[in-house]
Structure 1
Amino acid sequence: MSAQEPPKIEFPCPDYPIKVLGEAGDALYALVMDVMDEHAPGFNRSRVKVKDSGKGRFQSVTVYVTATGIEQLDTIHKALRANPIVKIVL
Structure 2
Amino acid sequence: MIETDAKTHEIKFPCADYPIKVIGDTSVGFKDKVIEIVQKHAEVDLKTLAERQSSNGKYTTIQLHIVATGQEQLYDINSELRATGTVHMVL
Give the TM-score normalised by the residue count of structure 1: 0.90
How well do the aligned residues superpose, as a CA RMSD in angstroms? 1.3
Residue 46 of structure 1, CA deviation? 1.9
Between the aligned residues of both structures, percent identity stands at 33
How much does 1:5 deviate? 4.0
Residue among 8, 11, 28 paired with 1:9: 11
Look up the equivalent residue of 1:77 and give its one-letter code. Answer: N
| Richer in strand (by share) | 2
Moved more, 26-35 or 65-74: 26-35
1:35-46 aligned within 5 A: 35-41=37-43, 43-46=44-47
Q: One-letter code of the match for 1:10?
A: K
C-alpha distance in structure 1 between counterparts of 2:42 and 2:28, whole Å: 20
> Paired residues, what number?
89
Structure 2: tracts of 5 or more residues without a match: none
Higher gyration radius (CA): 2
For the residue of structure 2 that corresponds to 1:44, the secondary structure is strand
Tell me by how many angstroms 1:59 deviates.
Answer: 0.5
- Give the structure with the higher percent helix: 1
Gapped regions of structure 1 (runs ≥ 5) = none
Once residues 2 and 45 of structure 1 are traced to their aligned partners in structure 2, the CA distance between those partners, rounded to angstroms, is 39
C-alpha displacement of 1:27: 2.7
| Equivalent in 12, 20, 23 of residue 22 of structure 2 | 20
